[in-house]
Homo-oligomer: A and B are copies of this chain.
Amino acid sequence: MSLPTFYTSLKLHNHHEKLPLKLHSRFSISNSQKPDCQFSQIFQANQSVAAVVFGEASQRSRLYPLTKRRSEGAIPIAGSYRLIDAVISNCINSNITKIYALTQFNSTSLNSHLLRAYSGGLLANQEFLEVIAAYQSPEDNDWFQGTADAMRRCLWVLEQNPALEFLVLPGHHLYKMDYQKLLEEHRNNKADITVAVLDTIKNHNTGFGSFKVDNNNRVIGFKDEIELMSFIPLSVNGSKFNNGFHEKFSSMGIYVMNRNVMIKLLNESFPKANDLKNEVIPGAISLGLKVHAYRFGGYWEDMRSIEAYYEANMESTKKTNMKYNFYDRDFPVYTLPRHLPPSLVTNAVITDSVIADGCILNRCSIRNTVIGPRTRVGDGAVIEDSVIMGSDIYQSLSEKNINGGDVKNGSIPIGVGEGSFIKKAIIDKNAKIGKNVKIINRDNVLEGNNESDGYIITSGIIVVVRGAVFPDESIL
């Protein structure tokens, strides 16, 4: 995509003296807040917003093999949650309850989770979480080609919603934000677009580029870290570009766009753009739209790697000063409700760990570990510094042979067998760890791909793939 090359002496917003004609007509209503004002009398503040959540980071996830069968948003975290629960809970806690989730990549488990957790329990026709999975149509046989393409192709759905602002959210970040504050700042600044940026973590490669802002928090430039483009030079709003105080903030990939701005950008200004982050948003800046930066100062984690994911889980086992509090009643984290029995513990020493429900823990020692739902741990097992995702089902004996009756594997039940020792590992769901297995990274491998053997090693963390089977006495 070719961005506009230069826009000298643009004086946009409020007192546009020399607005180029062609731009003028394109965005004739972009800065007019009249429709908004008009509607703010009809819709309550929180009703005027709809959220668009992207269920996955991208096809090539940095969290493979956790993303082999699921998108990033569907990865289990902290025992009972999926990563996307954090963002959806932010929406609900911010009283934004018109949510579209756009999914495409390995979307089955994400769709299922979203729908079971959120769709059934919202208010009739007024509140909803609607999952829009990528689809073929007579007009377009292709997959979504990016965030902008996805939104453009879903515009016919989004336009049916009378929302005046659309809040675009990546679904795979862990943080707590009251989006109403973001919206308030957006409205108070009469912005066309507001982007959320990291205030505290500087120069962080979030994958969404970074923005240069002036001292009114107006965005005046964008840089995509990946391509190491130089900032698009802009002289906006009469600000003296070289003299003003400018700061650079990493983008969180969160955008508030006014309805008409969004529609015109996608359909008219950049009808071929595939991505929001490095095509539409930078384009909007170049066009001189009023793009405001909302600085966010709280905890934020983007699970950019297996290591970051591992650390976020370890964080959840801390008793105090948790960076992300799953136990906060005033800003709760929602997820799929469960009907599991309580965990049955025969004789365990458990230290600094979280234990989900439905587990059966026999005489074992668990330290600094996240234990997911329905996990079974056998006698004498020791688990340290690990994430055990648990099991989707209770396996009954009769059931072991349904799928083919492989003797070797069939005899190993889901869970962690007797006498096994697991240290610094992530065990994906439904893995079958036999007896006296050692998952300890014996050879201190830092990076290694043994996927065909059921695991990979990254940053020294062993990741056991979903459903992998480790016979008795295995050592890795």
Contacts and interface: CB of A to CB of B under 8 A. Distances in A.
> How many copies of this chain sit in the oligomeric assembly?
4
Contact of A263 (B119, B319, B326, B403): B403
A175 interface: no
A317 B123 CA distance: 28
A97 B132 CA distance: 24
Contacts of A106: 135-138
Contact of A338 (B120, B317, B337): B337
B133 A133 contact: yes
20 contacts: A35-B401, A39-B398, A97-B123, A105-B136, A105-B137, A111-B131, A119-B119, A120-B121, A123-B123, A126-B332, A327-B358, A332-B339, A340-B357, A342-B357, A342-B371, A342-B372, A343-B357, A345-B355, A349-B349, A350-B350
Given A43-B330, A59-B138, 13 more contacts: A108-B133, A112-B130, A131-B133, A133-B134, A334-B339, A337-B338, A337-B339, A338-B357, A342-B356, A342-B370, A345-B354, A345-B355, A356-B357
Interface string A391-422: 01110101101111000000000000000000
B135 A329 contact: no
Contacts of A341: 78-81, 326-327, 333, 354
Interface residues on A, range: 35 or more
A107 interface: yes
Interface stretch (A6-14, A156-164, A200-208, A434-442): A156-164
Q: Which of A111, A133, A328 has the most CB of B within 10 A?
A: A133
Q: Which of A81, A160, A330 has the most CB of B within 10 A?
A: A330
Contact of A327 (B38, B333, B394): B394
A344 interface: yes
B122 A121 contact: yes
Nearest to A116: B119
B343 A343 contact: yes
A44 interface: yes
A330 B125 CA distance: 12
Interface string A346-374: 11111111111110111000000011100
A31 to B, nearest CB: 16
A352 B360 contact: no
B134 A135 contact: yes
Given A69-B156, A121-B124, A347-B351, A357 B357 contact: yes
A174 to B, nearest CB: 14
A259 interface: yes
Contacts of A358: 327
A133 B136 contact: no
A242 to B, nearest CB: 39
A42 interface: yes
A342 B79 CA distance: 6
Contact of A346 (B130, B154, B352): B352
Nearest to A369: B345
Interface string A187-208: 0000000000000000000000
Given A338-B338, A348-B350, A327 B107 contact: no
A350 B345 contact: yes
A382 to B, nearest CB: 15
A136 B348 CA distance: 42
B330 A344 contact: no
Contacts of A141: 59, 143
For the complex of A and B, 5 pairs with smallest distance between CB atoms: A120-B120, A133-B133, A337-B337, A79-B342, A342-B356
A68 interface: yes
A64 B38 CA distance: 39
A160 B357 contact: no
A195 to B, nearest CB: 24
Interface string A89-133: 000100101000001111110011001100111111111001111
A30 interface: no
Nearest to A330: B42
A116 B351 CA distance: 34
A127 B95 CA distance: 12
Given A119-B119, A121-B122, A344 B354 contact: yes
